[in-house]
Amino acid sequence: MHAEFKKNGYVYIKNFFSQAEVDALVADIKEASATKSGKDVLDKGDLKFHALIMHRSEKLRAFISQSKIIDFLKQFAGPDIWVRWDQAVEKKPGAGTFPWHQDNQYSQLKDQHFQFWISLTTMTADNGGLWVVPGSHKGMLKYDVDDNHVSYNGDVSKAEFISAEPGDVVLFSSFLLHSTTPNITQNSRWAYVIEYMQMDSIDPYIDAPYLVVAKDGQSHLEYLDRLPSENDWVNRWKYWDMKHKVKQQIKTSLAAIKNTVF
C-alpha cells in the first residue's frame, strides 16, 4: 500500500469505518460545528467548510487520534504525528465546481501533509464527489489565485473519479491534484478531512497549541506549545525566502477563521 501511495499519491480503503462509527462521527461534527459562528473564508456558495472543529470537541480529538487511524497512518507518516487542520465539508444541492488544486497551494507549505478524507455520505459524480489525478503529487504546480481560492488550469486528462460509500477513506498527498464537480442532486454530500503531518515537519502559519496524536507509533493525544523541530535549521531554511507580506496575509486569513472557531 505504501508503494501505491508513493506511485499514485493516494490510496483508497473501503469500509474503514462502520456505519455506526460514521453516524457517531457525524453527530460529533454537528455538535462541534453548532458552536461555531460566522462563515469560513473558503466557503463558496453552497459549498460550506467547518474548519478546526477538533479544537472544540474532545470527542473529535479522541476520534482523530484513535489507534485504528494511527496504526494505518504511521506506515506513511512515520511514528510521530501531529494534526495541522481538520474540516468537515458540506456540498449542498446546487453547489458548484471546486477547482483543481493541490492543498499545498493553499497552505503554502514546503512539506507534504497527509489528507485523511472520510466519506460521510455516498459520493457520486452527480453529488460532487472526489476526482484525483494519479501521479500528480511530485511537487508544486503552477496555479492561479481568485479571491480566497486557487486553481490549476493545466492538463487533467488522466483524472479518475473515486466512488465512495460512508466509512470509506481516501488517504492522499497534499500535493495531489484533486477537484469536486457540481452537486446536481437534491441531497448534501459530506466529508470529513483531517490533515496529518510528520512531527519533523512544521507549519509556520499556524499558531500554538499544536495537537499531537501519535508518539513512537502509538496513539498519544497531547497539546504542545512548541513543535520539537520548530527551530531546526532545516525547517528554518525552508521558509527563509517567504516574504513577510505573504506571511502576514496568510496569518490574517487563518486568524479570521480562528476567531470564528475558538
Residue 198 has pLDDT above 70, yes or no: yes
pLDDT-derived band of residue 262, with 50, 70 and 90 as boundaries?
very low
User: Residue 193 has which C-alpha cell?
Assistant: 478531512
- Summarize pLDDT for 146-192 with one digit per residue, the tens: 777 889 999 999 999 999 999 999 999 999 999 999 999 999 999 99
In angstroms, how far is the first alpha carbon of the chain from the final one? 37
Rounded Cα distance, 109 and 29, in Å: 27
Please compute, for residue 197, the number of CA atoms within 13 A of its CA located in the half-sphere on the CB side. 24
DSSP per residue over 186-244, as a string?
Answer: SS-EEEEEEEEEETT---TTSPSPEEEEEETTEEEEEEESS-TTTT-HHHHHHTTTS-H
Q: Pick 2-261's CATH classification: 3.40.50.720, 2.60.40.420, 2.60.120.620, 3.40.50.300.
A: 2.60.120.620
- Summarize pLDDT for 224-242 with one digit per residue, the tens: 999 999 888 888 888 876 6
The phi and psi torsions of 48 (rounded to 5 degrees) equal -115, 135
Closest CA to 123 of 159, 68, 170, 69: 170
Contacts of 58 (CB under 8 A, 6+ apart): none
Higher pLDDT, 256 or 118: 118
Alpha carbon of 190 to those of 26, 152, 194, 237: distances in Å? 9, 24, 14, 38
Four-CA torsion 199, 119, 53, 177, nearest 10 degrees: 60
User: What secondary structure letter does DSSP report for 81?
Assistant: E
Percent of the chain whose predicted confidence (pLDDT) is above 90: 73
Contacts of 92 (CB under 8 A, 6+ apart): 46, 47, 48, 183, 188
Rounded Cα distance, 195 and 68, in Å: 16
Structural contact between residues 212 and 81, judged by C-beta atoms closer than 8 angstroms: yes
- Summarize pLDDT for 80-90 with one digit per residue, the tens: 999 999 999 99
Q: Where are the domains of the chain?
A: 2-261
Residue 180 bridge partners (DSSP): 98, 130
User: Residue 80 has which C-alpha cell?
Assistant: 510521530
Residue 47 bridge partners (DSSP): 44, 91
